[in-house]
Each structure stands twice: as C-alpha cells, then as structure tokens.
C-alpha cells in the first residue's frame, strides 16, 4: 500500500505576510504617490510573496522589512491575459489572450529607480517582453480604477509553455516541504 504524505503546512508567518499584502488597499492619495515617481509593476510570480519582494527591492532588508514590502503592493487584476507555466522550470508567466481571461496578481508601487531596476533584473529574461498595460485595482474606499503598470509578458514560442495553474499558496507549500526536508536531512 502506497503511503500518502500529508501536504506540507505553510508557515503561519508566511501566510500572515501574504495576507497583509493581499488585503493592502491604497487610498487615492497613496495611489498617486505610489505611481507618480516610477511606473509600478504588475507581478504574478514569486514576487507576490512579501519576503521575495523585500529581498529583491533591498537585498540588505531584514525580516522586519517584509511588512514594509507588503505595503508596496496591492491586489491587482490584469485583463485579457492568462497565467501559464514554463515547461522547463515550472515558473509562471503570462500570455496575451483575446478572451476575457484575467490574471490575479499585485501592483507594486512606491518604487525608486533603483528598486524598479532590481525588479527588472529579477524578472527580465530573453523570453519575456516588458510591456505597459492597464491593471485594475480597488481603492481603500472600494472604487475600482485602472492604472498603467509594467508587465513582463511571454514572447517566445508557446510550445515551451504548459496550460497549468500556478498558485502562490502551492509555491509556499513546496518551499515549506523543501525546508522541512532540509531540516530532517541535517538532523
């Protein structure tokens, strides 16, 4: 009889930080401040996770900076695109769609030029094109508005992609499982 391993549990602090970022809604004044100095980015990959975003924005940031990184983000929706994974490494990417498909992600704003360059460096690849797209966000007052944001969109052959869902929660489970395996190996 094959034994089934229980799904790894996501660390509570990881869930708390991710929820903080997901539930962060900007006022109209904050939106203006967060998009006026540098064009914001729409992220749909591991940058959705505050500790990854924090490390990319400031490699010297400590765990206290993870909450600050969450404040740089607000939930956003990219229309007429869908998320798939790159077959080779199972990382997510987005492709344009003629249908009403949407991608849930986050708008990252309030960036300095250096922070924007770090996001570019983390995300950029020869198979992605940086495009300016409109994304939908909800203000703290509940109003839905569209803002322009940079998005990295797949430009290479779609034969390299799989129509497979990618979820930040599953990504966190895999990381938790990996960390648990490492700690068992070292004991």
In the chain, what are the domains? Answer: 12-175 (3.10.490.10)
Average pLDDT for 57-63: 78
Average pLDDT for 156-171: 91
DSSP 37-80: SS--EEE-SGGGSHHHHHHHH-TT--TTHHHHHHHTEEEEEEES
- Return the pLDDT at 130: 97
The whole-angstrom separation of Cα 45 and Cα 93 is 7
Kindly report the pTM of this predicted structure.
0.88
Residue 182 — very low, low, confident or very high, per pLDDT cuts 50/70/90?
Answer: very low
Residue 75 has pLDDT above 80, yes or no: yes
Structure tokens at 154: 């797949």
Average pLDDT for 135-161: 97
Whether the CB-CB separation of 77 and 104 falls below 8 Å is answered with yes
- Greater confidence (181 vs 151) lies with 151
pLDDT tens by residue, 139-150: 999 999 999 999
State whether residue 144 is helix, strand or coil. Answer: strand
The whole-angstrom separation of Cα 22 and Cα 128 is 25
Average pLDDT for 103-131: 94
Residue 183 has pLDDT above 50, yes or no: no
Q: Which residues of 17-39 are buried (b: 16+ CB within 10 A; e: fewer)?
A: bbebbbebebeeebbeebbeebe
Q: Please, what is the angle between helix 168-185 and helix 12-23, to 10°?
A: 160
The whole-angstrom separation of Cα 63 and Cα 41 is 23
Half-sphere exposure of residue 161: CA atoms within 13 angstroms, side-chain side: 20
Q: What percent of the residues of the chain are helix, what percent strand, and what percent coil, each to the nearest 5?
A: 40, 30, 35
């Amino acid at each position: 009889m094959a034994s089934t391993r229980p799904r790894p549990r996501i660390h509570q602090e990881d869930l708390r930080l991710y929820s903080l970022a997901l539930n962060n809604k900007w006022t109209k004044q904050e939106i203006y401040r967060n998009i006026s100095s540098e064009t914001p980015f729409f992220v749909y990959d591991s940058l959705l996770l505050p500790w990854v975003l924090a490390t990319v924005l400031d490699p010297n940031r400590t765990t206290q900076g993870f909450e600050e990184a969450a404040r740089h983000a607000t939930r956003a929706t990219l229309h007429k695109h869908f998320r798939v994974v790159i077959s080779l490494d199972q990382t997510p990417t987005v492709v344009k769609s003629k249908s009403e498909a949407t991608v849930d992600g986050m708008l990252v704003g309030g960036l300095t030029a250096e922070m924007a360059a770090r996001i570019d460096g983390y995300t950029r690849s020869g198979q992605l094109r940086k495009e300016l797209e409109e994304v939908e966000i909800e203000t703290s007052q509940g109003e839905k508005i569209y803002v322009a944001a940079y998005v990295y969109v797949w430009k290479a052959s779609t034969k390299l992609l799989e129509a497979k869902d990618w979820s930040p929660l599953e990504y966190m489970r895999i990381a938790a499982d990996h960390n648990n395996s490492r700690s068992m190996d070292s004991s």
